[in-house]
Amino acid sequence: MQKFIITGGRKLRGELALQGSKNSALPIMAASLLCGEEVVLKSCPRLTDVYAASRILNCTGCKCSFSGSTAVIDPRDVSRTDIPETLMHEMRSSIIFMGAVLGRTGECTVSIPGGCELGPRPIDMHLAALRKMGADIREEHGRIICSGKAHGTKISLTFPSVGATENIILFAVNADGETVINNAAREPEICDLCGFLRKCGADIKGDGGSSIIINGVPKLHGCEYNIMPDRIAGATYLSMTAAAGGEIILTNSCITEMEPFLSVLEQTGCSIMTCGDRIYLRSGSRLKAVKERIRTMPHPGFPTDAQAVLMAALAAAEGTSVFEENIFDCRYRHVDALVKMGADIQAVGKIAVVKGVNRLHGADVAATDLRGGAAMVVAALAADGTSSVSGIHHIDRGYEKMEDAVRLLGGDMRRS
Ligand code: UD1
């Protein structure tokens, strides 16, 4: 099993171009299934989750090839509608293929994705919505067997679930009539998915707000599309620099979409300036704790995916910061590793109290999930001495060669 070996204490300096967004790429790859022609995706991140999505596409009969950060998907020969359990289990977001395969072929068999590192992740809202739209769905021995054609209807989500919103959109684009989603997720990646679908001929309005209106169209064509930058990778590299000290410029970033994170990070005393698609951050002295409670909320609230990396940066800040995790039940699994590195953090239920210590020290730790693993790297870059982070397959799910990006910035990090 591979590990990252990281020696902390070096300031990070330089310029880094952000990778394309994982959470946009996955639903857009699923959406490509709905097109009648070839799709070219630029800025497609090279990640294990993206390769898992391409294996699902291949299994349905789509051709999918990569050249650098361009993915070419040819969905003309889609023939298979059951996605094997092994592929479904490779990543939790495989569930978004349900709406796409069903929308394209009128049938689909997938597996219940089950729980994951972040706790139970039910799909009740996905199933209820698709049923209301006309799908007949049976659950047999862990398999979900769906059939039917979508018709327009009104759906009110009880929580603005990102995945459920995506599945509804994917099933609705070719529906008969108008679908309205109330209390829809407002995440920027939803807008990116809708932007892609519009470029392929879909009729969608209101994305980015709480009500999305989709008028079904008979057919979608192909297109060339640029996937948006990864705001969570951006938050991670900024947290690394804030924690280790130094100055970086992130290029190809998305400032408006990152604002909920940037406005909190700024309270740590870092200088942050933005211009066009560039974010400049300088971290000179010890970080200050964030005074207000950091509450994770659906967008435009503070993103749950950035909770762990910011917590790692605040572990050695001056003063006490308090986090409240409102999206997932088990999202403090990185805390034990940070404590092993000398942090003083108490996590009970939704709340984590982070009392800033003077210095963190290196330790051998194991990543238990994607963003928790990234948080361990943030802490290790700021710590005295050397750390090893195992379980890095979690990190590879969401970051393109993180060690190369850190080394480009002057950090001491290698894969062994
Ligand atoms: C997506 C993101 C993930 C991010 C999350 C919240 C992708 C690939 N993943 O995950 O990185 O952390 O949004 O911003 O885009 N829920 C239910 N029933 C459902 C659906 C969801 O109870 O049918 C609950 C979940 O258990 C969770 C909460 O709603 O507690 C949020 O989940 P959701 O917004 O659906 O997240 P994902 O789409 O899984």
CA-nearest residue for atom 20, ligand 1, is 123
Sheet with 4-7: strands ordered across: 364-366, 386-390, 4-7, 412-415
Amino acid at 276: G
The stretches in the chain having pLDDT less than 50 are: none
Task: Choose the final residue of a domain: 158, 192, 226.
Answer: 226
pLDDT of residue 118: 67
| Ligand 1 center–CA 94 separation, angstroms | 12
Q: Examine the domain organization and report whether 111 and 260 are in the same domain.
A: no
CA-nearest residue for atom 17, ligand 1, is 122
Report the residue among 162, 228, 302, 394 best suited for mutation to probe ligand 1: largest number of ligand atoms under 8 A from its CB: 162
Amino acid at 373: G
Task: Choose the final residue of a domain: 226, 247, 271.
Answer: 226
The atom of ligand 1 lying closest to the CA of 122 is 18
CA-nearest residue for atom 16, ligand 1, is 122
CA-nearest residue for atom 34, ligand 1, is 161
Contact 69, 46 (CB under 8 A): yes
The atom of ligand 1 lying closest to the CA of 163 is 38
| Ligand 1 center–CA 249 separation, angstroms | 30
pLDDT of residue 260: 98
Q: Examine the domain organization and report whether 369 and 324 are in the same domain.
A: yes
Q: Examine the domain organization and report whether 83 and 121 are in the same domain.
A: yes
Q: Examine the domain organization and report whether 221 and 240 are in the same domain.
A: no
Q: Which of 8, 24, 372 is nearest to 197 (CA)?
A: 24
The atom of ligand 1 lying closest to the CA of 128 is 23
**What token pair was written down for 309?**
């990396």
Q: Examine the domain organization and report whether 207 and 296 are in the same domain.
A: no
Annotation says 223 is catalytic:
no
Q: Examine the domain organization and report whether 269 and 371 are in the same domain.
A: yes
Q: Examine the domain organization and report whether 8 and 50 are in the same domain.
A: no
Count of structural domains within the chain: 2
Q: Examine the domain organization and report whether 279 and 209 are in the same domain.
A: no
> At residue 271, what are phi and psi to the nearest 5 degrees?
-85, 130
Domain range spanning residue 122?
22-226
pLDDT of residue 147: 97
The atom of ligand 1 lying closest to the CA of 371 is 11
| Ligand 1 center–CA 64 separation, angstroms | 26
The atom of ligand 1 lying closest to the CA of 299 is 14
CA-nearest residue for atom 11, ligand 1, is 305
pLDDT of residue 114: 59
| Ligand 1 center–CA 411 separation, angstroms | 33
| Ligand 1 center–CA 45 separation, angstroms | 21
Q: Active site residue: 116, 191, 223, 330, which one?
A: 116
pLDDT of residue 251: 98
**What is the pTM assigned to this prediction?**
0.97
The atom of ligand 1 lying closest to the CA of 327 is 30
| Ligand 1 center–CA 365 separation, angstroms | 27
Q: Examine the domain organization and report whether 32 and 156 are in the same domain.
A: yes
Cα 138 off chain centre by: 29
Tens of pLDDT, residues 183-197: 999 999 999 999 999
Q: Examine the domain organization and report whether 187 and 334 are in the same domain.
A: no
Q: Examine the domain organization and report whether 79 and 190 are in the same domain.
A: yes
| Ligand 1 center–CA 225 separation, angstroms | 25
Q: Examine the domain organization and report whether 251 and 215 are in the same domain.
A: no
Q: Which residues line ligand 1 (CB under 6 A)?
A: 23, 26, 93, 121-126, 159, 161-164, 185, 189, 304-305, 327-328
Which CATH number goes with the domain that contains 282?
3.65.10.10
Count helices and strands (H / E) in the chain. Answer: 14, 23
Report the residue among 159, 166, 186, 394 best suited for mutation to probe ligand 1: largest number of ligand atoms under 8 A from its CB: 159
Task: Choose the final residue of a domain: 204, 226, 248.
Answer: 226
